[in-house]
């Protein structure tokens, strides 16, 4: 079983290295651009009163980091980091399970559709807690397994989409349990993309405060406990 997990990690790194340009250009296509704008607005709703500096784990090509003014980013893929660096993000190569930063370095840590691509999401959350300052918060961007969009993406993975093929989706209960075990308490939530799964551009909709399991994208704000 462990061997399969190790192979899975290699697949993820390979996919984002080999297809970095394809991944970044997806955000410029009609559907990708519309989805990004909705997800960005949803996350931004939870960003008020966060303390600087910010870190994004799984920064990818830096699209969200640039839009949300996140100064620092880490990713295991060299391919995507080249794009993030060009967008002005202070980047470092590494894994979320072992962050190369001192304790209490950041006021907020962002994990935007990242936990579905890591082998040990609980460890990533524990490391996020370690590098957060007291009263710091983690901002999660998630696609819940309960959502019809998760099933839509999984089918695309089975059909051969290289990105969804290596993604794993978790339920709301699983995320809540991991956050609790990592020392976090959810204090706010926002949801968006209530439209049925489609490959056509999404129409604009205002993000809804609160957690809706049927939403295509949800954002959670969780504060660090044990102060």
pLDDT tens sequence across 76-107: 999 999 999 999 999 999 999 999 999 999 99
Whether the per-residue pLDDT at 7 is higher than 80: the answer is no
Instruction: Give residue 226's pLDDT.
Output: 67
Cα-Cα end-to-end distance for the chain:
37
Instruction: Give residue 161's pLDDT.
Output: 80
DSSP three-state, residue 200 = coil
DSSP three-state, residue 177 = helix
Instruction: Give residue 1's pLDDT.
Output: 30
User: Nearest 5°: phi and psi at 64?
Assistant: -70, -40
Of residues 88, 45, 31, the one with CA closest to residue 65: 88
**What pLDDT band is residue 19 in, cutting at 50, 70 and 90?**
confident
DSSP three-state, residue 186 = strand
Residue bearing the bigger pLDDT, 213 or 164: 213
Average pLDDT of the chain to the nearest whole number: 91
Q: CA angle at residue 195 from 116 to 201, to 5 degrees?
A: 85
pLDDT digit string, tens, across residues 133-146: 998 999 999 999 99
C-alpha distances in angstroms, 40 versus 68, 184, 206? 8, 23, 11
For the chain, give the number of residues: 227
In DSSP terms, which residues pair with 48 in a beta bridge? none
Instruction: Give residue 227's pLDDT.
Output: 53
Domain at 2-224, CATH class? alpha beta
pTM of this structure: 0.91
Instruction: Give residue 167's pLDDT.
Output: 87
Residue bearing the bigger pLDDT, 227 or 222: 222
């Amino acid at each position: 079983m462990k061997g399969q997990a190790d192979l899975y990690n290699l697949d993820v790194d390979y996919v984002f290295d080999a297809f970095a340009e394809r991944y970044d250009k997806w955000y410029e296509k009609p559907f990708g651009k519309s989805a990004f704008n909705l997800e960005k607005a949803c996350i931004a709703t939870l960003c008020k009163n966060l303390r600087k500096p910010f870190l994004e784990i799984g920064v990818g090509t830096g699209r969200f980091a640039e839009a949300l003014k996140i100064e620092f980013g880490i990713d295991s893929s060299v391919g995507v980091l080249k794009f993030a660096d060009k967008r002005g993000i202070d980047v470092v190569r590494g894994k979320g399970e072992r962050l190369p930063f001192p304790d209490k370095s950041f006021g907020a840590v962002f994990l935007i559709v990242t936990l579905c691509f890591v082998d040990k999401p609980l460890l990533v959350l524990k490391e996020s807690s370690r590098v957060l300052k007291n009263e710091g918060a983690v901002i999660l961007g998630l696609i819940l397994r309960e959502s019809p969009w998760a099933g839509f993406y999984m089918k695309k993975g089975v059909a051969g989409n290289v990105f969804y093929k290596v993604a794993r989706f978790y339920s709301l209960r699983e995320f809540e349990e991991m956050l609790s075990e990592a020392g976090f308490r959810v204090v706010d939530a926002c949801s968006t993309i209530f439209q049925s799964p489609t490959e056509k551009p999404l129409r604009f909709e205002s993000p809804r405060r609160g957690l809706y399991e049927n939403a295509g994208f949800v954002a959670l704000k969780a504060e660090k406990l044990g102060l």
